[in-house]
Amino acid sequence: MERPEYKRVILKLSGEALAGDQGYGIDPNVIHSIAEELKEVLKMDVEMAIVVGGGNIWRGMAGSAKGMDRATADYMGMLATVMNSLALQDALESVGVPTRVQTSIEMRQVAEPYIRRRAIRHLEKGRVVIFASGTGNPYFSTDTTAALRAAEIEADVILMAKNKVDGVYTADPSQNPDAVKYNSLTYLDMLNQGLGVMDSTASSLCMDNDIPLVVFNLDTKGNIRRVILGEQIGTVVRGNI
């Protein structure tokens, strides 16, 4: 059996990654492909938790920019993450992967409330745990949720799966052809240069708790497995290099 580099991981998926080429909503083919890939990873006895965004359904910042109350817009975004989480749970269980969704906002008819010890127990039993509805508070992103949950469950790493980009660059590669990709950098570098990989709250939380981050391309099949095996793909962000 191949030896994974990380034992307990948090996979951060953007909502847009679940939309596929259509750009909005949920593409069942994309979710099924992710589920199949995760199934293979779990065979290596990796403990997998997932934080998924909601940008494919609703973006709180966009609603706020158009005059909606920011807290209301953010709560709507949290509900969007629950929809994505339930879709991902269904896809995982359809390929035989036991999965639990835990929400920061209680909705017991569809998911468990978030309880740290219960989440850890699920992971120890080989179940995938999906953390939905962010932190349960407005003004905090799902990036911050990933950092917070990683600290709480003592995850070895956060895997930030991106679509259409394969790491962290000095500038947006889609707009600047001279942008250079980083193989590694520190959270402090990322904050000082305003690289926008994750928001400053999430970056600071990861830096303070010494949680490494790997930014990689989700579009390439097998990349989740490669990252967990320790292959040098994407960009690694650490507290210190």
| pLDDT exceeds 90 at position 177 | no
What is the residue-wise DSSP string for 32-80? HHHHHHHHHHHTTT-EEEEEE--TTT--HHHHHHTT--HHHHHHHHHHH
pLDDT digits (tens, 9 = 90+) for 25-82: 999 999 999 999 999 999 999 999 999 999 999 877 787 888 889 999 999 999 999 9
Whether 67 is covered by a domain: the verdict is yes
Q: What is the mean pLDDT of residues 148-155?
A: 98
* Residue 201 labelled as part of a binding site: no
Whether 156 is covered by a domain: the verdict is yes
Whether 3 is covered by a domain: the verdict is no
pLDDT of residue 175: 86
| pLDDT exceeds 80 at position 240 | no
Q: Is the dihedral of CA 129, 224, 205, 175 positive or negative?
A: negative
Whether 170 is covered by a domain: the verdict is yes
pLDDT digits (tens, 9 = 90+) for 202-221: 999 999 999 999 999 998 89
* Residue 55 labelled as part of a binding site: yes
Tokens 């210190």 belong to residue: 240
- Residue 1 pLDDT grade (very low, low, confident, very high; cuts 50, 70, 90): low
Beta pairing class for 157-162 and 181-182: unpaired
pLDDT of residue 222: 92
Q: What is the mean pLDDT of residues 164-169?
A: 88
* Residue 75 labelled as part of a binding site: no
* Residue 143 labelled as part of a binding site: no
* Residue 20 labelled as part of a binding site: no
**CATH of residue 227:** 3.40.1160.10
Read off the tokens for 78.
């949290």
Whether 2 is covered by a domain: the verdict is no
* Residue 141 labelled as part of a binding site: yes
pLDDT of residue 241: 57
Pick 88 or 239 by higher pLDDT. 88
pLDDT of residue 66: 84
* Residue 142 labelled as part of a binding site: yes
Domain count within the chain: 1
Whether 52 is covered by a domain: the verdict is yes
* Residue 167 labelled as part of a binding site: no
- Residue 171 pLDDT grade (very low, low, confident, very high; cuts 50, 70, 90): confident
* Residue 172 labelled as part of a binding site: yes
Residue 4, Cβ neighbours under 10 Å: how many?
Answer: 17
* Residue 137 labelled as part of a binding site: yes
pLDDT digits (tens, 9 = 90+) for 77-125: 999 999 999 999 999 999 999 999 999 999 999 999 999 999 999 999 9
Read off the tokens for 117.
């010890």
Q: Which domain holds residue 90?
A: 8-238
Read off the tokens for 6.
């990380």
Whether 182 is covered by a domain: the verdict is yes
Whether 153 is covered by a domain: the verdict is yes
